[in-house]
Every structure is written in structure tokens, then in C-alpha cells.
Amino acid sequence: MDRVFSGIQPTGVPTLGNYLGAIRNWVPMQDDHDCIFCVVDLHAITVWQEPKLFAAQTREMAAALLACGLDPQKCILFVQSHVHAHARLAWIFNCVARLGWLNRMTQFKDKAGKNSEQVSSGLYVYPNLMAADIHAYHALKVPVGDDQKQHLELANDIAQKFNHDYGVEFFPTIQPLIQGVAARVMSLRDGTKKMSKSDPSDASRINLTDSADEIAQKIRRAKTDPEPLPSELAGLEARPEARNLVGILAAITDSTPQDVLRDHGGKGFGQYKEVLTEALVAHLGPIREEMARLLQDHAALDAALRIGADRAAAIADPIVTEAERIVGFLPR
């Protein structure tokens, strides 16, 4: 079975966008891949995190992943900082990757903006750490969103340069599995912006912790246009909010936007939003309850993460130790 690695940052309550765009796609992979999933707290501190809140968010993300169906019997789930191999390999990769490569990373440019003298140096080398996450396990497949594609190309460049410089065939080529392009969930306030846990407006997103009432209220207030729903896909063009609400129902009911329009075309948004709310509440309710249950028992959750970290380290430690030997570090 091919090894799969993916990571998610604990920088806020997971949203419907994280769920439909990433987490939900990971669940079926557990059955036919050797899966390793990681809450990437080292990546999160590339921007300021208030320590108490950060620790709570890390647990919350782990609980959300379990509640969404990641099963420790079928995959390895752990917290990045618990496995030191990530930081060890990241340092080696800091010395393999070229400044010119990092200078081309569009995500850094977007995140740093005009402020690039003031952001942390960690934010700059973020892609090297991401490469280390993957290569520490010799993972072959990496499910990520579209926005991470460039980082995976860099991870392949790093592997190739390492292999070339040291004259080895040690790190394999990884294959991105670009996910969620169809089910890309957009902000409820602006259908041209991605739904994001960092948007200042909570009304822009559905959180996996939202109650049925909160979901109903957010959907009721979601931005729309005055036209009823079209019956054909072409009718969604230039209607980003309508397209988003149709896409969400399609994703959550495992159907397609065509199916949704066939069933609901011609309805006004008032009526359609009731259908959508009902489907969302039915789907997310059990996840929210399971998350709350898991978060009531920190000791049990932490123990599960410890086991995950031990299993992850058992794979990554020998690989990274071998990389260190290749580099010429003296064995201890």
C-alpha cells in the first residue's frame, strides 16, 4: 500500500471548508493506503499563536479529525511537535533548498505582503518543513488543496537536489493528490473568497462546532442574489454565492451540482436555504457531538495522540537518522 501523508494546521476551529475540502477526502483513503495524518503545530507558530488558545486549538483539531472519521486503528494520527524527526530533517532541508526557490513561493508573498521584513523567518522556510514532514516518512502521495501544489513541487526539488548532491537515491518523488477543487467551499459573505477559519467575520463560515441554531442563522444570512435557482449549471455562471450554496449541498449529500439543480432549480433562496440547513445539521450534528465527547476527556485524547506519535516516530526516526548519516553527521 502506498504511503500517504497530509497535514492540517491547528490555527482555529475547523470549518466546513476544511471538512469538505480536505478531511472528508482523507477518510476513505484509510482503507487502501498506509495513511499518516498530522496536526502541524510547528507550521502554525510561523505566525503568532497565543499559547493557551493554541494548545486548545491543537486538541480541538485532533478531536475534529477523529470525529470526522479518522480511525487510529486504520491510520496514524499525531501532533507534529511530538515527533522530533520533522525538525531534524527540516534543518537539513533548510541547507538544501535554495533562497531563489523560496523567493518564488507565492503563498509566502501573499502571507507576507508588504510586511516581508517583519514576518518570522519560520514563515519563509515553511515549505522546507513541509517537505520534511513528507520525506521523513518516504510518503509517496500527498492529498492537499490547490494552494499547496507549489510547495509539493518544491518538496520534489529538494528531494532531487539532496539525492543528487549526496549521490544517493534516498528520497522518492512524491505525487500530489489535488483535492477539493470541485468541492471548494467559499465564504458565506463573499462567494469569490475561500471559506477560512481566519476570516474576521464568523458569519462567513460554518464551524464544525456550530450548533444547529448557529448553522441555521448563518445560512439564513448567507449572501445570495435575487434570482431563483437555475435548473442548469450554466445558470450559475457569474453567480458565485448561488454556486457556492449549490456546491455545499452537492458535497454534503454526495451528489453533484447538476443533481441539486435538477431537484431544486426554480426555488427561491428562502426555500432552498431551509433544505440546505436541514442537510447540514443532519450531517454535521453527529460530528459536533463526537467532537464534544472527545474534548471532555483530555487524558484519553492525549493518550491517543501519544500512541500516534510513537507509531509515527517508529517510521520517521530511522529514515531521518539515515539522512543524517548520508549528510555525514557523526553517529552518537
Instruction: Please give the Cα distance from 109 to 9 (Å, whole number).
Output: 19
39 neighbors 61 (Cβ within 8 angstroms): yes
Instruction: Using CB under 6 A, pick the residue from 105, 134, 195, 229 that binds ligand TRP.
Output: 134
Site string (29-58) toward ligand TRP, x via CB under 6 A: -----------x--x---------------
From 111, 161, 223, 267, the catalytic residue: 111
Task: Give the three cell numbers for residue 314.
Answer: 517508529
C-beta of 199: minimal distance to ligand TRP in Å? 16
C-beta of 134: minimal distance to ligand TRP in Å? 5
Coil vs helix vs strand at 75: strand
Q: Binding of ligand TRP at residue 6 (CB under 6 A)?
A: yes
Task: Give the three cell numbers for residue 91.
Answer: 534543518
Sign of CA dihedral 192, 15, 148, 118: positive
Toward ligand TRP, which CB reaches closer, 230 or 308?
308
Task: Give the three cell numbers for residue 83.
Answer: 515527533
Toward ligand TRP, which CB reaches closer, 128 or 204?
128
Coil vs helix vs strand at 117: coil
Instruction: Please give the Cα distance from 171 to 5 (Å, whole number).
Output: 14
C-beta of 130: minimal distance to ligand TRP in Å? 4
Instruction: With contacts defined by CB under 6 A, name the span among 24-32, 128-136, 185-193, 317-325 that binds ligand TRP.
Output: 128-136
Instruction: Using CB under 6 A, pick the residue from 75, 144, 186, 206 that binds ligand TRP.
Output: 144
Residue nearest to ligand TRP (CB): 7
Residues of span 298-317 touching ligand TRP by CB under 6 A: none
From 109, 114, 193, 197, the catalytic residue: 197
Give the amino acid at 122: G
Instruction: Please give the Cα distance from 25 to 183 (Å, whole number).
Output: 10
Which segments within 87-216 are labelled E, that is strand?
141-144, 175-178
33 neighbors 4 (Cβ within 8 angstroms): yes
Give the amino acid at 179: Q
C-beta of 42: minimal distance to ligand TRP in Å? 9
Q: Binding of ligand TRP at residue 133 (CB under 6 A)?
A: yes
Toward ligand TRP, which CB reaches closer, 104 or 262?
104
Biggest alpha carbon–alpha carbon distance for the chain: 71
C-beta of 214: minimal distance to ligand TRP in Å? 25
Coil vs helix vs strand at 34: strand
194 catalytic per annotation: yes
Give the amino acid at 99: L
Instruction: With contacts defined by CB under 6 A, name the span among 6-14, 177-185, 252-260, 294-302 that binds ligand TRP.
Output: 6-14
C-beta of 227: minimal distance to ligand TRP in Å? 35
Q: Binding of ligand TRP at residue 11 (CB under 6 A)?
A: no
Query: Left if phi > 0, otherwise alpha if psi is -120 to 50, otherwise beta: which for 138?
Result: left
Q: Binding of ligand TRP at residue 215 (CB under 6 A)?
A: no
Q: Binding of ligand TRP at residue 130 (CB under 6 A)?
A: yes
Q: Binding of ligand TRP at residue 75 (CB under 6 A)?
A: no
Sheet of 3-8, strands arranged across:
75-79, 34-39, 3-8, 141-144, 175-178
52 catalytic per annotation: no
Instruction: Using CB under 6 A, pick the residue from 4, 5, 64, 209 that binds ligand TRP.
Output: 5
Helix (H) or strand (E) holding 30: helix 24-32
223 catalytic per annotation: no
Contact residues: ligand TRP, CB under 6 A: 5-7, 9, 40, 43, 130, 133-134, 142, 144, 148
Report the catalytic residues: 111, 194, 197
